[in-house]
Amino acid sequence: MHMRVYGAAALAGLSALVLSACGGSTGTATSTTAATTAKAAATTAAAPATTGAPVRDAAVDLVIWCDQDRKPIIDKYAAAFGAEQGIKVAVQVSTDVRKDFKDATNAGKGPDVIVGAHDWLGELVQNQAVKPVNLSPTDQAKFPAEAMAAAKFNGQVYGVPYAVENIGIVRNTALAPDAPKTFEEMVTKGTQLVKDGKATNAVLLTVSKTGDAYHSYPFLKAFGGGVFAQKPNGDYDPTKVIVGSPESILGGEQLAKLGKDGILSTNVDGGIVDQVFDAGKAPYAMTGPWAVEKAKKAGISYAISPLPTIAGKQMTPFLGVQMFYVSAKAKNDAFAQEFVTKYVTRKDLQIDMYNIGKRPPALTEAYTEVAAKDADIKAWFEAGKGALPMPNIPAMNSVWGPLGQATADIIAQKATAADRLKAAQTEIEANIVKAG
Amino acid sequence: MTKSPWIVVKWVAIAAVLALLVWIAGKFAAAGSLWAVVGVAFIAMCVLAIYGTTRAVPLKYLFPGLFFLVALQIWPIIFTIATSFTNYGDGHMGTKEESVKYLIAQSVREVEGAPRYAMSVAVPTGADVTTGTITLLLTDPKDGATYAGTPDGLAPITDGVEKSPTGKVTKANGFTILNAREVNARSEDLSALAVPTEGGGIKTSGLSEAFVGKASMQYDAAADRMIDTTTGKRYLPQNALWVPEDGQGQSLTSGWQENVGLRNYTEALTNETLRNGFLKILVWNLIFPLVSVISTFLLGMGFALLFNDDRIKAKGAWRSLLILPYALPGFVTALVWRQMFNQDPNFGLINKTFGWSIDWLGDPTWAKVAILITNLWLGFPYMFLICTGALQSVPGDVKEAAKIDGASGFRTIRSIVMPLVLVAVGPLLVASYAFNFNNFALIYLLTNGGPFEGNQTQVGSTDLLITYAFRLAIGGTTPNFGFAAAISMFIFIIVALISLQGFRSTASLEDVN
């Protein structure tokens, strides 16, 4: 009896948690690539025990799965598409599209189209869940090369992007009026503000006890390190992990120094970053578009700028791309392909999607129009310039945990950067071999 | 034996159950699962034999229970055992044939510089739109020439051709053009179709476009090899993956599911990290529920004794207050405690209050303490409840007799009250132990198994076997359900042994009566 009651409470609780985490606002778990990957464990983990995947509506001609936030917009265009083709289109909400889609497709009950982040791609291909989208070369040219690169796997296009996202520096203009050029400048200014009692944290960065590879990556990348080496064609090479490379270690040493000086701390997790920044208690947060909406609501006057240099080297973030996929087992493949190639490439759809998620639209034409009137969007886009897409190869799943924990341990001074990153490299390589 | 109206009711009920089973069988038949249909038919026969006749009266009562025991307990166990002998997991979901088909389909690339045709889908006039041979009516965007494309190749058509402004053929003599819904209904045939042409095959994309594509992968069925025609590389099947024959480079993306025998078990026992981890986790997994049960029981019992004393006023109010932690959803409590355990006094209430700087969630020992404290808070109200209940059922005359015999208050509790209470709550303590043994939610929400020591992320300092298995199966790097199922079997055996021993011990408690 005790067990049942407790179990039921836990289940109810977990599902409520998942719902609140995913459906709450425009900037949470499922709606951001960053959060989806950085918190991959969290979202995928809570779901299986709790959320029921949507049940595919059998009576319609095209089924699309997306998250709660994007449903109204997709509904609008699905209706238009349905009217044009004389068919019925259903847009269904899934609280964990990635997992629900994989499981449902595996059981032959999946949707025809899903909306999701580009870094799911490798895993979905590995599990035979998605199929190429035959976007014509003319249509491909309407997107920035990086966005198209993110939608590709083995040189094949698997989705049509509608938004891009990346982290940058969000600063509280009341505390820090000027955009920082260097990380050192942020540290100096921030430390002064802490000393003056105007702030509790000099620089906010999501670390947490288990670490956060997504947010730590720019430190490694600044010195030429990163996760995987690239093949000549730009693809990431899963057989060449560079987490423990001398370049990555240089970045790791910066993390170690910042941890030692108390600038970065494993006591700061994603929730605390928002909490402190929204309380006006920190001048700088190294975060993404998902944090802006909350800061705005909290009445913080903010500005967005690109990541600065550290030790004279330019930091660049991961680029995330949001896109529409077509299921490999789509029952309505013709409609699915038609909708994704003809409708998602429309300017009006991309602009409407921007209005929901406040991310730069992927379609260049739509971006130009939005950037002209929304300074934030322009700033996010600028902050993402030169950024490489987050790896979408399945091997990346073997990286998040070990690299994240390594950065946490380095910041917590549990190990030296060199030792810890080399150990992480060994663990990642072993995981990749094990995964095949 | 029964009156006629009841016979009618009985047969109506039996007929309803049978109708339901027929409906379920129909669903399974449509899905093509033969064995499921056989199973349902067997159940239907059981229902008829047991409830239609008077031969098996005890079974009439036992059958529903047996049915659900099999469906909800036995079947998952069998399924887990079966899974533990496979490599089921990411990249190993389908069959080998599916992987071959998928890899070839995925390798179709648009031939560079080839035209993108405007396309309509048609069948020869007179043929059924749902089964007729599919013909693609194609318009070359450069010169507007129109063709009919079939598996035999391209043939120019001009007879009675009308085109839309986008170039799509809307009418042609000898062909019935399909509407969108009809085209979509034949998606599967369209995916299989490639109109042979120079440099590749013409494939459809959506409803009104076709492109020239070429598959770079081929399957050599005789040699059982996948061949990449662009590089000439050959891939052989090995460990349920397509591995390069020359040993250079990566295997192909998609593998298949197969039986791996005892490999998951041998790996769990021989892999050094896992083995050390397993032992470490097992020890903590035995200590955690034990300490939790003892601590919650002692605190709960203490409060129960206190508030069972008649000298306490407003007992009802106190009792309600004490039950509050139990009434709040456990997950909320766990998250609140996690926040309170933050090392930074700016965020963590505990360190702030006491002026400590304990790294509650980052130090392996303190993390264990933090979990035990949280579980004490979560669990003592339950113990308080059941102990209060048990105390109230201890007869007053027994205590009175002890008092008359000159026993002190403590002596009465130790020798008279406790044995009686333990008889009642003993089995619940065992149940509580078993529950905490698999207390996934608490660990997951509070520490997620961490902190992780020794430069690795597989084995956490506060991991229970269940959180560990979960990380292996779903939450970790690459989901491996087969391996996680093997770990689950170990957990199953351990819990079964502990429960067995536990219930034996509680049986001995009952001897005091």
Q: What is the DSSP string of B16-62?
A: HHHHHHHHHHHHHHHHT-HHHHHHHHHHHHHHHHHHHSSS-HHHHHH
Q: Using alpha carbons, select from A6, A79, A54, A33 the residue that is nearest to residue A320.
A: A33
C-alpha distance from A219 to closest chain B C-alpha (Å): 20
The predicted pLDDT at position A361 comes to 95
Residue B214 gets the label, from left (phi > 0), alpha (psi -120 to 50) or beta, of: beta
Strand B200-205 vs strand B195-197: parallel, antiparallel, or unpaired? antiparallel
Last residue of a domain, one of A358, A379, A400: A379
Q: What is the pLDDT of residues A133-165, one digit of tens each?
A: 988 888 999 999 999 999 999 889 999 999 999
Which chain A residues are closer than 8 Å to B452 by Cβ?
Answer: 210, 405
In a domain, A404, yes or no: yes
The partner residue sitting opposite A2, judged by closest CB among B93, B108, B428, is: B428
Say which residue, A372 or B418, is predicted with more confidence.
A372
Q: Using alpha carbons, select from A52, A49, A46 the residue that is nearest to residue A21.
A: A46
Strand A62-66 vs strand A89-93: parallel, antiparallel, or unpaired? parallel
Same domain (yes/no): A278, A188: yes
Q: What helix, strand, coil percent values describe chain B, rounded to 5? A: 55, 15, 30
Q: Which residues of B184-216 are buried (b: 16+ CB within 10 A; e: fewer)?
A: bbbbeebbebbbebeebbbbbbbbbbbbbbbbb
CA angle A405–A410–A414, rounded 5-degree value: 95
A-chain residue closest to B253, CA distance = A126
CATH 1.20.58 at B4-84, yes or no: yes
- Residues forming CATH 2.40.430.10 domain(s) in chain B: 96-218
Half-sphere exposure of A53 (CA within 13 A, CB side): 22
> What pTM did the predictor assign?
0.83
Which chain A residues are closer than 8 Å to B251 by Cβ?
Answer: 436
Same domain (yes/no): A343, A404: no
Asked if the model's pLDDT at residue A315 lies above 80, the reply is yes
Same domain (yes/no): A89, A126: yes
Partner-chain contact A48 B180, CB within 8 Å:
no
* DSSP SS3 for A149: helix
Q: Average the pLDDT over A44-61 and give the result.
A: 55
The predicted pLDDT at position B477 comes to 65
Are A320 and A32 in contact by the 8 Å Cβ rule? The answer is: yes
The predicted pLDDT at position A436 comes to 64
In a domain, A2, yes or no: no
Asked if the model's pLDDT at residue A44 lies above 60, the reply is no
In a domain, A384, yes or no: no
The predicted pLDDT at position B510 comes to 62
pLDDT tier for residue A419 given thresholds of 50, 70 and 90: very high
Q: Using alpha carbons, select from B491, B506, B383, B512 the residue that is nearest to residue B440.
A: B491
Say which residue, A11 or B93, is predicted with more confidence.
B93
Say which residue, A24 or A420, is predicted with more confidence.
A420
Tokens of B304: 């129960």
The predicted pLDDT at position A3 comes to 40
Same domain (yes/no): A330, A343: yes
Residue ranges making up the domain that contains A294: 9-27+166-318+391-435
The partner residue sitting opposite B441, judged by closest CB among A10, A85, A342, is: A10
C-alpha distance from B14 to closest chain A C-alpha (Å): 30
The predicted pLDDT at position A58 comes to 62
Are A153 and A393 in contact by the 8 Å Cβ rule? The answer is: yes
Residues paired with A324 in a beta bridge: A115, A160
The predicted pLDDT at position B206 comes to 84
Partner-chain contact A6 B330, CB within 8 Å:
yes
Same domain (yes/no): A311, A327: no
Same domain (yes/no): A186, A59: no
Q: Using alpha carbons, select from B114, B122, B211 the residue that is nearest to residue B162.
A: B122
Same domain (yes/no): A62, A146: yes
Partner-chain contact B206 A420, CB within 8 Å:
no
Unique residue bearing structure tokens 């209060």: B388
CB-based contact, A413 to chain B, within 8 Å? no
Last residue of a domain, one of A379, A404, A424: A379
C-alpha distance from A290 to closest chain B C-alpha (Å): 22
Asked if the model's pLDDT at residue A20 lies above 70, the reply is no
Q: What is the CATH number of the domain that holds A359?
A: 3.40.190.10
Please identify, in words, the CATH class of the domain defined by B96-218.
mainly beta
Partner-chain contact A17 B361, CB within 8 Å:
no
The predicted pLDDT at position A40 comes to 36
In a domain, A363, yes or no: yes
Last residue of a domain, one of A379, A404, A427: A379
Partner-chain contact B477 A420, CB within 8 Å:
no
The partner residue sitting opposite A14, judged by closest CB among B108, B331, B456, is: B331
Same domain (yes/no): A403, A285: yes
B-chain residue closest to A393, CA distance = B253
Same domain (yes/no): A268, A228: yes
Are B327 and B408 in contact by the 8 Å Cβ rule? The answer is: no
The partner residue sitting opposite A3, judged by closest CB among B190, B205, B431, is: B431
Tell me which range, A137-141, A236-240, A290-294, A417-421, is most confidently predicted by mean pLDDT: A417-421
- DSSP-assigned states of every residue in A96-139: SHHHHHHHHHHTT---SEEEEEGGGHHHHHHTT-EE-----HHH
The partner residue sitting opposite A209, judged by closest CB among B434, B451, B477, is: B451
Which chain A residues are closer than 8 Å to B382 by Cβ?
Answer: 2
How many domains is chain A built from?
2
Same domain (yes/no): A362, A416: no
Which chain A residues are closer than 8 Å to B329 by Cβ?
Answer: 9-10, 12-13, 16
Same domain (yes/no): A152, A91: yes
The predicted pLDDT at position A188 comes to 95
Say which residue, A225 or B10, is predicted with more confidence.
A225
B-chain residue closest to A134, CA distance = B205
CB-based contact, B292 to chain A, within 8 Å? no
Same domain (yes/no): A152, A264: no
Asked if the model's pLDDT at residue A196 lies above 90, the reply is yes
Are B194 and B202 in contact by the 8 Å Cβ rule? The answer is: yes
Cis peptide before A180 (omega within 30 of 0): no
Tokens of A99: 């997992």
Q: What is the pLDDT of residues B134-148, one digit of tens each?
A: 889 999 888 888 898
In a domain, A151, yes or no: yes
Q: Which residues of A42-52 are buried (b: 16+ CB within 10 A; e: fewer)?
A: bbbbbbbbbbe
In a domain, A337, yes or no: yes
How remote is the C-alpha of B349 from its chain's centroid? Answer: 36
Asked if the model's pLDDT at residue A325 lies above 70, the reply is yes
- Residues forming CATH 1.10.3720.10 domain(s) in chain B: 269-512
Say which residue, B57 or A348, is predicted with more confidence.
A348
For residue B9, which amino acid is it? V
Q: What is the pLDDT of residues B289-340, one digit of tens each?
A: 999 999 999 999 999 988 888 788 888 888 888 888 888 888 888 889 999 9
pLDDT < 70: residue spans in chain B? 1-3, 473-477, 509-513
**Spatial separation of the C-alpha atoms in residues A362 and B115, rounded to whole Å:** 26
How remote is the C-alpha of B76 from its chain's centroid? Answer: 11
Order the strands of the A168-172 sheet from edge to edge.
Answer: A203-204, A284-287, A168-172, A302-305
Q: How many CB pairs under 8 A join A and B?
A: 199
Unique residue bearing structure tokens 């089964």: B131
According to CATH, the topology of domain B269-512 is MetI-like fold (1.10.3720)
Would you give the DSSP letter of residue B251? P
Torsion of CA B232, B237, B241, B242, to 10 degrees: 0
The predicted pLDDT at position A277 comes to 95
CB-based contact, B299 to chain A, within 8 Å? no
